[in-house]
A = this chain, B = another copy of it.
C-alpha cells in the first residue's frame, strides 16, 4: 500500500508507513506533504499526552530527510538525548502510537532498542551520541563494512564534556562519520557558553566564517541555513552520504517549528505537560504548593541579604524553579553554565573556596554526571558548597534513563560530603539555611519529591553535628524512615500502635552517616525497620544493618530495587518493594 493517497492530490496515508522504505520513493514535494501530514497528529499527541514539543517539531523535516537519504537500520543513526525522536518513531514502524490516541502509551519518549531495530541505544542524558557513535564507526572499520554512521546532536548538548570528548576523538577517524548539529539556538533554556558565540557567527556568515569551532577540531564542515527546509536538507545529507572522512553538518532549525505557541515560548515548550495547542495554556494548572517553588522563593529571599549567595544550574533553570522572571530577580548571581554538570560542581567548589555561598540546584539523575567532581574537586577540598537535588526518589522522573534512585549510594559513600534528607518544608528550609551559611563541609540536600508536608514542631537549626531525630519514643520496634519516606514510616507506626505495639519512630536526617548513639539504644530491640527512597544497595539501611550485626535486633531494610524500571507507576513499585504502611506494619 502506498502512503500517497492517489485519490486526493498531496494527501498522505500515514497509517501505511511501516518503515523508511515507504518514504524513499517520494518526491521532494511529496516529502513536504508528508511533513505537513506528520505535524498535525504530532501536535495533537503532544497537546494531549505532553512531551518534548519544541525538539520534536523543530527536527521533523530533518528526521524525514535523514530517513529519506540514509538507509537505516543498516546506516546507523544515534540521536543525542533522543527526546527528539517522535518523528523517527513515526517513520520506523510505530506510527500507530502517534495517530491513535488509545495507543499513545505504547512507545517511550526516547529511543529504545526494545521497541525497534532502528533504535540503537536507550539514552536520555545529553551529550552522549557522538561518543557512542564512534564505537559503531570503529567497529565498522574493524569489520570492514561500509555503512554510514550518523550522530545527531543538538546545540544545547554540545556544552557537555562528553560531547567534546567524542568530537575530539571522532575527528581523528579516517573514515565515514557524520555529525548533524541541530542548532535551534536553544538549550532547554537559552544557551550559555563561548561556543555559542561561534555558532551564532557561523549562522550569520552562512557558515563561511574562518573562525569555525568544528574545523578547528578537525572536521570538514557543511552549513544548512534552512534546517526546516526539506530540499536543503536532502541536498546536504546526500552530499555527505558515504563521506570517507568525518564531517559536521550544521543545520539551523526553529525549535517548535509549525506550532506558534511553541515557537514563541521556546523554553516553556521544550517539554510540556498536556496543553491547549492554540493558547499554550496547560490543561491542568500546575500546583503552586511544591518544593521547587518553595526552594526558589527561599533562595531569592536569602539572596537579598546574603551578597555571597549564588545559585548555579547546568542548563536546567526551569527544573529548579528559576523561570525567566526569577532569573532576572537573581541577576548575575544566578549562574547557568549550560549543560555541564562537571563545570557546575567544580565552579561551586571554587566559589566556596573564595568565600561565596554557592548553591548548585540539579536533577538527581544528572548529578551523576559529576561523580568525580563531587569527590575530587569538591570533597577532598572540603569547600562548603551546597548542592540541592531535585526529582529524587520514587516520585521523581520515571523514565529508565532519568531515575532518581541512585543518588544516595553514589553520594553517601564518598568521604566528606554531608548528605541531608529533609522530611518536611520547615526542615528543608532549615537545612538550606544552615548549609548556605556554614563554612566547614560540602553539603547535599535532597529535595523531597513527594507531596508537601509541614513540620509539627520546631526543627533543628544547626546540622553540623545533627544526629538522628527520635520523633516518637517507643520500645522494642523502631522505624527509621528517611526523607520523603518519613510519611510512610509515620503511617506504619500508626497502624502498629493500633495493634497495641509501641514503635519508636526516627527521622535520620543525615543519610550519609550513622548516628551510633541512637543506634546503640536499639541493640536490644526486637526489630529495626529502615525505609529509604533510593536503591537499597549501598544505601543507609545496609550500613545500619552492618552496624547492628551481632546484637539481638533484626534489621529489615526497605527501599527501591537495584534496577532500571521504565515508566513505572510509583504506587506499584512501592507495593512491590513492601513499601506500604500496611506491609511495613505487618513485618513485626
Which chain A residues have a beta carbon within 8 Å of chain B's beta carbons?
A: 76, 113, 120-125, 128, 131-143, 159-172, 192-195, 197-198, 210-213, 215-219, 307-308, 310, 332-333, 335, 337-338, 340, 342-343, 346-356, 358, 368-369, 371-373, 375-377, 379-381, 400-401, 406, 409-410, 412-416, 535-538, 541-543, 545-546, 548-550, 554-557, 562-564
Best-surrounded residue of A143, A163, A376 (most CB of chain B within 10 A): A376
Q: Which residues of B have CB within 8 Å of A343?
A: 131, 134, 162, 165-166, 168-169
Known: A121-B353, A414-B406. A195 touches B211 (CB 8 A): no
Known: A136-B353, A213-B213, A310-B138. A346 touches B131 (CB 8 A): yes
Q: List 23 A-B contacts (CB under 8 A).
A: A121-B377, A123-B377, A128-B373, A128-B377, A131-B342, A131-B373, A138-B351, A139-B308, A139-B350, A142-B310, A142-B332, A165-B338, A169-B192, A169-B194, A169-B337, A169-B347, A171-B195, A172-B194, A211-B216, A380-B401, A380-B564, A415-B564, A416-B563
Q: Is the CB of A549 within 8 A of B545?
A: yes
Known: A132-B350, A350-B135. A380 touches B122 (CB 8 A): yes
Nearest CB of chain B from residue A302's CB, rounded to whole Å: 15
Q: Is the CB of B415 within 8 A of A563?
A: yes
Q: Is the CB of A371 within 8 A of B410?
A: yes
Q: Is the CB of B381 within 8 A of A122?
A: yes
Best-surrounded residue of A194, A308, A563 (most CB of chain B within 10 A): A194
Known: A122-B380, A193-B171. A135 touches B349 (CB 8 A): yes
Q: What is the CA–CA distance of A138 and B337 in the complex, to the nearest angstrom?
A: 12
Best-surrounded residue of A123, A164, A556 (most CB of chain B within 10 A): A164
Q: Which residues of B have CB within 8 Å of A161?
A: 160-165, 342
Q: What is the CA–CA distance of A218 and B213 in the complex, to the nearest angstrom?
A: 10
Known: A171-B193, A194-B168, A333-B142. A358 touches B135 (CB 8 A): yes
**Among B141, B165, B198, which residue has its beta carbon within 8 angstroms of that of A342?**
B165
Q: Which residues of B have CB within 8 Å of A557?
A: 546, 549
Nearest CB of chain B from residue A482's CB, rounded to whole Å: 15
Q: Is the CB of B412 within 8 A of A135?
A: no
Q: Is the CB of A340 within 8 A of B169?
A: yes
Q: Is the CB of B198 within 8 A of A217?
A: yes
Q: Is the CB of B546 within 8 A of A542?
A: yes
Q: What is the CA–CA distance of A403 and B314 in the complex, to the nearest angstrom?
A: 28
Q: Which residues of B have CB within 8 Å of A350?
A: 131-139
Q: Is the CB of A169 within 8 A of B338?
A: yes
**Among B76, B125, B415, B546, which residue has its beta carbon within 8 angstroms of that of A546?**
B546
Q: Which residues of B have CB within 8 Å of A381?
A: 113, 121-123
Q: Is the CB of A139 within 8 A of B354?
A: yes
Known: A139-B354, A337-B165. A368 touches B375 (CB 8 A): yes
Q: What is the CA–CA distance of A308 and B135 in the complex, to the nearest angstrom?
A: 12
Complex: chain B residue closest to A385, CB-CB: B135
Q: Which residues of B have CB within 8 Å of A555?
A: 546, 549-550
Best-surrounded residue of A125, A216, A401 (most CB of chain B within 10 A): A216
**Among B332, B351, B376, which residue has its beta carbon within 8 angstroms of that of A401?**
B376
Q: Is the CB of A554 within 8 A of B563?
A: no
Q: Which residues of B have CB within 8 Å of A543?
A: 537, 542
Q: Which residues of B have CB within 8 Å of A406?
A: 375, 413-414
Q: Which residues of B have CB within 8 Å of A212?
A: 211, 216
**Among B168, B342, B412, which residue has its beta carbon within 8 angstroms of that of A340?**
B168
**Among B172, B211, B307, B400, which residue has its beta carbon within 8 angstroms of that of A142?**
B307
Q: What is the CA–CA distance of A195 and B219 in the complex, to the nearest angstrom?
A: 10
Q: Which residues of B have CB within 8 Å of A136?
A: 350-351, 353-354
Q: Which residues of B have CB within 8 Å of A556?
A: 549-550
Q: What is the CA–CA distance of A133 and B348 in the complex, to the nearest angstrom?
A: 10
Q: Which residues of B have CB within 8 Å of A170?
A: 194
Complex: chain B residue closest to A309, CB-CB: B142
Q: Which residues of B have CB within 8 Å of A168?
A: 159, 193-195, 338, 340, 343
Q: What is the CA–CA distance of A160 and B161 in the complex, to the nearest angstrom?
A: 7
**Among B122, B409, B545, which residue has its beta carbon within 8 angstroms of that of A413?**
B409
Known: A139-B355, A549-B554. A376 touches B128 (CB 8 A): yes
Q: What is the CA–CA distance of A143 and B167 in the complex, to the nearest angstrom?
A: 37
Nearest CB of chain B from residue A365's CB, rounded to whole Å: 9
Q: Which residues of B have CB within 8 Å of A213?
A: 213, 216-217
Q: Is the CB of A172 within 8 A of B160?
A: no
